[in-house]
Structure 1
């Protein structure tokens, strides 16, 4: 080392010398840096530009217990194994979405140290993304620009919280023209919620230059705030060069009862579906269209049916689905939806016609028609009536049109009358936590299945839903079901033990959910956790 420092007292070495630093110390520092670079196989280069600081997030931090819970949930997100026998431990992987939704409901932000794990979880599971990115806040975008593994945050919608519509029009225009796709979708959504016309005018400025897939997503974002003033733009979009964009525009127009397209579809549909008043009682007569002309195709009717479908029935279904439901009451001499649905349909067209009306009720969010098409859930033959063989109707979607409390009552009565075999998807659209009558019906049906000696794994899907959706307050009432019962004659071997484990896991999960809910409650001193360490 002494040899290397020779001459430094007489002349400055060719290295950078900091103020107050001697020439010898500067030379040794430069040698140390060079050694590190050589060992790292890197050539000397100027330092890169430091990233801008992360944006501030003024929301309160999670309470300490909730922070520890999030760390546990993220550490366990790989699941508890793929064995057929799950044991009695709660499945934390399935509780993470519910926990994230609850945390977002309180307006918390995620701890900085857990943001990478949170983004990794959102990358692995698309169902977590909206809630996970909302909890991560504006720093999710900042981190995504630094790590290619998180680019989904930059290109996807439903990410970080929507930006507020800026007061400065130039600022809005710049963000719209230069922002990332996620930022543009969020901006359009925010503007539409504030003023639908303002958001539409912004979209029109760049519509002709957008990619087809982006036009489709922008168009779909209009659905939430669809207004009559959107009709001229949507009518023009019926001539879009993308078939998917044209179909979405037609669907949106058909959801506007007063639109010109809705009127055109009503005329077409009513020309093919009419009451035969000469019959006693009245009968619905159907004469399916014989061609799909250019006007029908422009209005969104797909000319080519899927495999196994006849052309005429395929065209008829699309016409009826797009026609305003209110027009049928006038067509059938003032009958209400229930009376129209009860009319017989000639020539085996009943299933096709009712399926199309079901899709129309979902599209137009018409609760009166949905109620009529669902009928009484407890009727003895109702299961076959609401979904006859060959039907394409989706009862779960139809149920979403009803108010949440009515939906829960309908499903509870359906389960009480027909059991759980056809109720899984219906349960999935009921509000969480399940209302008490619905929860009681599910538990009663599971208990009946156990007493009948049914295979417990046949109900694993419903049991998993119950773990996530039952009211945690029901845990104490379910304790009696955790005991191992005698297996009835003909039962599958060991089913009693399986059922006992399943109910123990259900009770344990409900109690854990209650604990997690309490952990998320704001501390007594107030919700602001920004000073917490």
Structure 2
């Protein structure tokens, strides 16, 4: 048992049951100081000096706002602050590093920018404290040959954006030497600029020993309707789904697969279903989701209107998944009307995402589904969606003010901060003014960062 584990264990059971030699609180304070300073408890000797920084730190006002955010003032804005700061090419000041690195230990979502923002001193601290060594795996701006896994993914992404073929050739040249974890991440990078030129490489990746690599390759091949995998999936769907005409109109007849063979697993079908879903239903959903949507030869709205005597919910859930995987805007619109989930919005342009979300806000009561839909809108909310949400806040404030917390926070965090005057003038209601204050906070945050 380590010193920290011993202290926490004693504190939990009480010194009455587990006597502790000395002052427990004093020992805990010393241990906390050691951990936050980046030194391993019990370590002897003096570490090497921290290297000199290469990047300039953000300005004083920006740094002070970072400390305020980490101290609890609008703390959900921390990812936005970090992204904006990273875009400036600056780093955070040294005094903010211990708290920021501790935050990154607990919250993976903020790590993506820390490799750059923490600077050389941050990486030096990460080498001293095992709790912070995750930082050593984050991008720092190094090259393909010299960088770690995250740096190499970032380099490959930049190369892919500049020339898809060159990035793929680079990946092919080192593929056999990459670790399984790295291979899965590198495959996902190929989503940018994906084309049939990538199909031979991705088809080969279906034979990888690592399931995550096979899944990543299958997900990309699903977006290529002419790929060999997509054609195999189409044949599987044809074997178990037919559309026939009856007196009442067209009917979709379904006979779910009875077995998941090795060929299906190679193509990304997972044999073991999640809890609560039967095997046949699970296999059916996966083959439909990975078959080209053009296979159905009908508009999605027409298909949704057809009767499906058996496996109705499974087929429609598979269409939702297919629209997400294949990023088909027509299907995403139609399926959002059937099952309004945030993932479907990703297939649509930002303006249309906001239009659909605004319409949903108008028509839907405030509940967890509305919150999830709004959380899925990918860009800053423009005037249309902002106005719809502000109206909803005013309406709910008059009837259910206790139910407004999350909606008001989302509005303040996602509305374009340039619209803060719209919120200020919209209504004197306290929740609206809270939204306006948060928008103004973000305006000031962005003003400070280039300084």
Relative to the length of structure 2, the TM-score reads 0.79
Q: Is the 8 A contact 2:390 2:423 kept in 1?
A: no
* Equivalent-residue separation in structure 1 for 2:252 and 2:358 (angstroms): 33
- Give the structure 2 partner of residue 322 of structure 1: 290
Q: Is the 8 A contact 1:396 1:425 kept in 2?
A: yes
- Give the structure 2 partner of residue 236 of structure 1: 204
The yes-or-no answer on 1:459 pairing with 2:407 is no
The yes-or-no answer on 1:337 pairing with 2:300 is yes
Task: Report how far residue 435 of structure 1 moved.
Answer: 1.8
Q: Is the 8 A contact 1:479 1:507 kept in 2?
A: no
2:245 to 261, 277, 289: 277
The yes-or-no answer on 1:509 pairing with 2:438 is yes
Report the structure number with the largest CA radius of gyration: 1
| Greater displacement, 197-206 / 261-270 | 197-206
- Give the structure 2 partner of residue 410 of structure 1: 356
- Give the structure 2 partner of residue 189 of structure 1: 157
The yes-or-no answer on 1:475 pairing with 2:420 is no
* Equivalent-residue separation in structure 2 for 1:245 and 1:461 (angstroms): 37
> SS of the counterpart of 1:401?
coil
* Equivalent-residue separation in structure 1 for 2:178 and 2:113 (angstroms): 28
Q: Is the 8 A contact 2:188 2:216 kept in 1?
A: yes
| Greater displacement, 184-193 / 285-294 | 184-193
The yes-or-no answer on 1:351 pairing with 2:351 is no
Count of matched residue pairs? 406
> SS of the counterpart of 1:346?
coil
1:252-267 superposed matches below 5 A: 252-267=220-235
1:438 to 381, 385, 391: 385
Task: Report how far residue 348 of structure 1 moved.
Answer: 4.1
* Equivalent-residue separation in structure 1 for 2:181 and 2:107 (angstroms): 22
Evaluate the alpha carbon distance shift between residue 62 and residue 55 of structure 1 in structure 2; reply closer, same or farther with a 3 A threshold.
closer
- Give the structure 1 partner of residue 265 of structure 2: 297
Structure 1 runs not aligned, ≥5 long: 1-40, 80-90, 166-171, 330-334, 376-385, 388-393, 483-501, 524-533
1:137-148 superposed matches below 5 A: 140-141=122-123, 143-145=125-127, 147-148=129-130
2:371 to 418, 424, 438: 424
Evaluate the alpha carbon distance shift between residue 139 and residue 220 of structure 1 in structure 2; reply closer, same or farther with a 3 A threshold.
farther
Task: Report how far residue 201 of structure 1 moved.
Answer: 3.8
* Equivalent-residue separation in structure 2 for 1:467 and 1:322 (angstroms): 38
- Give the structure 1 partner of residue 326 of structure 2: 364
The yes-or-no answer on 1:395 pairing with 2:358 is no
Evaluate the alpha carbon distance shift between residue 117 and residue 346 of structure 1 in structure 2; reply closer, same or farther with a 3 A threshold.
closer
Q: Which has the higher contact order (CA 8 A, sep 6+)?
A: 1
* Equivalent-residue separation in structure 2 for 1:112 and 1:194 (angstroms): 35
Evaluate the alpha carbon distance shift between residue 430 and residue 473 of structure 1 in structure 2; reply closer, same or farther with a 3 A threshold.
farther
> SS of the counterpart of 1:277?
strand
* Equivalent-residue separation in structure 2 for 1:310 and 1:52 (angstroms): 56
> SS of the counterpart of 1:423?
helix
* Equivalent-residue separation in structure 2 for 1:507 and 1:292 (angstroms): 55
Q: Is the 8 A contact 2:225 2:292 kept in 1?
A: yes
* Equivalent-residue separation in structure 1 for 2:92 and 2:270 (angstroms): 47
Q: Deviations over 1:197-250 (max 9, x none)?
A: 443344345544544333333333333343323322322222222333323322
Q: Is the 8 A contact 2:332 2:345 kept in 1?
A: yes
1:166-177 superposed matches below 5 A: 172=145, 175=146
> SS of the counterpart of 1:213?
helix
* Equivalent-residue separation in structure 2 for 1:42 and 1:113 (angstroms): 23
Structure 2 runs not aligned, ≥5 long: 1-41
* Equivalent-residue separation in structure 1 for 2:43 and 2:366 (angstroms): 65
- Give the structure 1 partner of residue 26 of structure 2: none
- Give the structure 2 partner of residue 97 of structure 1: 79
Evaluate the alpha carbon distance shift between residue 107 and residue 183 of structure 1 in structure 2; reply closer, same or farther with a 3 A threshold.
closer
* Equivalent-residue separation in structure 1 for 2:397 and 2:158 (angstroms): 50
* Equivalent-residue separation in structure 2 for 1:348 and 1:420 (angstroms): 33
